[in-house]
Structure 1
Amino acid sequence: MRRLADIIDASRVKGILMDIFAKAAELGAANIPFALATIVASSGSTPRGKAKMIVLADGSSFGTVGGGIVEAKVIDEAKKAIDFDRPIMLDYALDHGPGERSLDMECGGSMQVYVEVFGAKARLVIAGGGHVGLAIARLASSVGFRLVIVDDRPGYVTPERFPMATELYVRESMDEALAAVPMDKRSCVVIATHASDERALRSFVLRDCAYLGFLGSRRKVRVLLDKARAEGVPDAQLDRVRAPIGLDLGAETPEEIAVSVVAEIMAAIAGRDAAPLSGRDGELVILRGGGELGTGCALRLRAAGFRVVILEREKPTARDRAFAFCEAAYEGEARVEGLVARKAECLTEARTLLAEGIIPLLIDPDCGFVAALAPYALVDATNAKSNDCLRRGMAPALIALGPGFEAGGDVDAIVETQLGHNLGRVLLSGSASTDSGTHEACSGDSGRARSIAGGLLEALLLLKGRVKR
């Protein structure tokens, strides 16, 4: 028979879990994003062996995974996970050890904690309750958006007409109705008013949101944007306005327009380009850096079925230029192991090269083309040992090779590049080993040629070319 203490302990754990699940259901109903941290494995002496904890974006928590240093670390990582809507596996050794996974704790055991994110449903604000606004609301509700309707016409915006909406803002004037709408960076906005597009654009263009577009003819769009620019609205804010709104589907009816608009919004918040899936060889990966490291990655990615675009500096460098795709920046084209990389002057040319099975190389050191290309993943292979422009959220997966980055901080993951037993290890938290600054001779390395004086090098033969004695 089970001991009474075991039965009481099991009952207590069950009660705590039920409280956690009830809290999760409450947060979900209120559309509040949260993270659920679960101890999935533990060994040795640890504060808790099995436990769950809910963490909110502000760092407040419900439940516990053991308290102290380990819980503080989990809460900090959970906040980052919520911010970027990415799950993460945490691995800690509670042993005062020197390793990056070690924490300053006396327990001596180890814990693995999986942090899962439950994001709030995207909020779609529709300014205008007319026929098109209603069609958009019906379709958006069916794919999971929380609907907010704004108008100054009480007869159009009613609970009976918009039963799918969670918030209705109807005021005597459109300005009052627009001002009453709360916004956050996850909100999406569609402007489709009867006669208030200009006021709606002025209200939303300077507010932080994930998507902003308005319905109208190209002439109307141009007139309103030019007027906003003349009033001092920065170009950076106007450039993010999508207008005319929607994908080019040949839509005519309100229902057809709704399909084109909702499809564009879904693609925008997912970071996709909304291009047809047919004719694609695989997901697109952008490689930042076409040196030896980037070239090796490109070869493996192509072999795995991915499409690849390389972003480079205007004058890239490489030790073995004959075996690096960055050479295309100088020669216009580079060939390595049967694959061809070709310099592209614009996005249109890059997309044409992709369709031909060629790796496009774009001169774009600041990653300005990333948003337009909407890659599945962005990989930094520059080996620069510092982060100059990358931030999580630029692509669904942001991966760095080598030191200078923080996994779970400015990137999603890091691949260790330092020679040793950790070479190739994927880090989901922490940083890669720093470069020792010394060169260790490898098998077959007969030494390196060094200049005896300053000056210009004139290449008489291609590097790695064959010569006769």
Structure 2
Amino acid sequence: MTTQVEVLDLVAQMKTAERAFVLATVVRTVSVTAAKAGAKAIIAADGRIVAGWIGGGCARGAVLKAAREALADGVPRMVSVQPENLLAELGVSAGESRDGIRFASNMCPSKGTMDIFVEPVLPHPSLVVLGASPVALSLAAQARTLGFHVTLAAPSADLASQPEADTLIDGYSLGELTETKRFVVVSTQGKGDEAALRAAVAVEAVYHAFVGSRRKMAALRAKLIAEGIDATAIDRVKAPAGLDLGAITPEEIAMSILAEITQARRRGQRAATSPTDKEKIDHADDRQPAHSRIP
């Protein structure tokens, strides 16, 4: 079995296991280089190359740096490792980016050029819903269509039918959850509020929310603090959950929560991929009638 086949097999295994990693692929080489076009390597979330090979130290540092950044923002990038004289001819410096390419210096005697595509492969984001309310059930169903791995936790006696969820937990003891970007919503709406909120604040997540009024959340906060729960953890919970869209029905409320989760999920990614201010101005000028641009 070739190294490339082994790499692709491991890619499939890591995707199935919902593990974050980067697939680095050499797409072009010029002159003498250790790795050739088509060479691949898998870089784990901890920065280790766990399979494959893309050359020695001449490219490794630049690729590992790009891999860390790609895992952080979810955006692929191209790295071009070139000798100093070629960078100078292009008018760029090591570490500079131009037209979507990050340039790095090749200090090895070979003085070859390698272009490496760095592609982050991230597990599905995880949505943990606590409760069996109509909002909770609608939230779980809608989230799956958006690519979330949905865990629904609620006493089985509260569920009238099988909910649309990837993982179903009887009660609020969450146990071990998927290791990925996680969002937690409590939507018990009067049935087990305290137990569900207690479990929710114990989970590490980028977003915590409670479906209920500020007054209700304040009362629950006081109770949980009296039980010894850290106030800082409770204060991370957004209440009421969701963007203010004027939602009324359970489906609309669920949609408003998912809209807010999408904001939190994509924060940082749009900044990494959106055009510069100058590009926005140029594109805006392109959309204007010709007469409006005459000085």
Deviation track 1:175-232 (CA, whole Å, cap 9, x = no partner) reads: xx13x14365611001012522223323332542111101112321222234445656
The answer on 1:233 being equivalent to 2:211 is no
Gaps of 5+ in 2: 88-92, 95-103, 285-295
- CA separation of 1:209 and 1:109: change in aligned 2, threshold 3 A: same
8 Å Cα contact 1:184/1:209 also seen in 2: no
- CA separation of 1:191 and 1:40: change in aligned 2, threshold 3 A: same
Decide which moves more: 244-253 or 148-157: 148-157
Distance in 2, Cα, partners of 1:87 & 1:75:
13
The answer on 1:203 being equivalent to 2:199 is yes
Distance in 2, Cα, partners of 1:71 & 1:284:
26
Aligned partner of 1:186 among 181, 190, 200: 181
Q: 1:219 maps to which residue?
A: 215
Gaps of 5+ in 1: 1-11, 273-282, 286-296, 307-469
8 Å Cα contact 2:207/2:261 also seen in 1: yes
Q: 2:281 maps to which residue?
A: 303
The answer on 1:149 being equivalent to 2:127 is no
Q: 1:113 maps to which residue?
A: 116
Q: 2:289 maps to which residue?
A: none
Q: 1:168 maps to which residue?
A: 168
Q: 1:34 maps to which residue?
A: 21
- Tell me the amino acid that sits aligned with residue 254 of structure 2: A
Classify the secondary structure of the residue corresponding to 2:242. coil
Distance in 2, Cα, partners of 1:269 & 1:303:
27
The answer on 1:125 being equivalent to 2:128 is yes
Deviation track 1:438-466 (CA, whole Å, cap 9, x = no partner) reads: xxxxxxxxxxxxxxxxxxxxxxxxxxxxx
Distance in 1, Cα, partners of 2:116 & 2:105:
14
Aligned partner of 1:53 among 26, 41, 55: 41
- CA separation of 1:261 and 1:302: change in aligned 2, threshold 3 A: closer
TM-aligned CA deviation for residue 81 of structure 1: 2.0
The answer on 1:65 being equivalent to 2:54 is yes
8 Å Cα contact 1:95/1:105 also seen in 2: no
Deviation track 1:46-87 (CA, whole Å, cap 9, x = no partner) reads: 001211222120224221112445335423431342133232
Q: 1:294 maps to which residue?
A: none
8 Å Cα contact 1:64/1:71 also seen in 2: no
TM-aligned CA deviation for residue 238 of structure 1: 4.2
Classify the secondary structure of the residue corresponding to 1:126. strand
Structure with the greater relative contact order (CA < 8 A, sep ≥ 6): 1 or 2?
A: 2
The answer on 1:87 being equivalent to 2:76 is yes
Distance in 1, Cα, partners of 2:117 & 2:23:
8
TM-aligned CA deviation for residue 249 of structure 1: 2.9
The answer on 1:77 being equivalent to 2:66 is yes
Q: How many pairs were matched up?
A: 262
TM-aligned CA deviation for residue 127 of structure 1: 0.7
8 Å Cα contact 1:86/1:116 also seen in 2: yes
- CA separation of 1:271 and 1:185: change in aligned 2, threshold 3 A: same
- CA separation of 1:45 and 1:305: change in aligned 2, threshold 3 A: closer
Distance in 2, Cα, partners of 1:104 & 1:96:
11
Query: What's the TM-score, normalizing by structure 1?
Result: 0.49
Classify the secondary structure of the residue corresponding to 2:244. coil
- CA separation of 1:110 and 1:305: change in aligned 2, threshold 3 A: closer
Mapping of 1:53-452 within 5 angstroms? 53-58=41-46, 59-71=48-60, 73-93=62-82, 100=94, 101-154=104-157, 156=159, 161-162=162-163, 164-171=164-171, 174=172, 177-178=173-174, 180-182=175-177, 184=179, 186-193=181-188, 194-228=190-224, 231=228, 233-235=230-232, 237-271=233-267, 300=278, 303-304=281-282
Mark the structure with the bigger radius of gyration: 1
8 Å Cα contact 2:20/2:123 also seen in 1: yes
TM-aligned CA deviation for residue 262 of structure 1: 1.6
8 Å Cα contact 1:95/1:107 also seen in 2: no
- Tell me the amino acid that sits aligned with residue 71 of structure 1: R
- CA separation of 1:255 and 1:114: change in aligned 2, threshold 3 A: same
Q: 1:435 maps to which residue?
A: none
Distance in 1, Cα, partners of 2:74 & 2:112:
30
TM-aligned CA deviation for residue 270 of structure 1: 1.5
Distance in 2, Cα, partners of 1:247 & 1:220:
18
Distance in 1, Cα, partners of 2:205 & 2:183:
6
- Superposed CA RMSD: 3.4
Identity %: 31
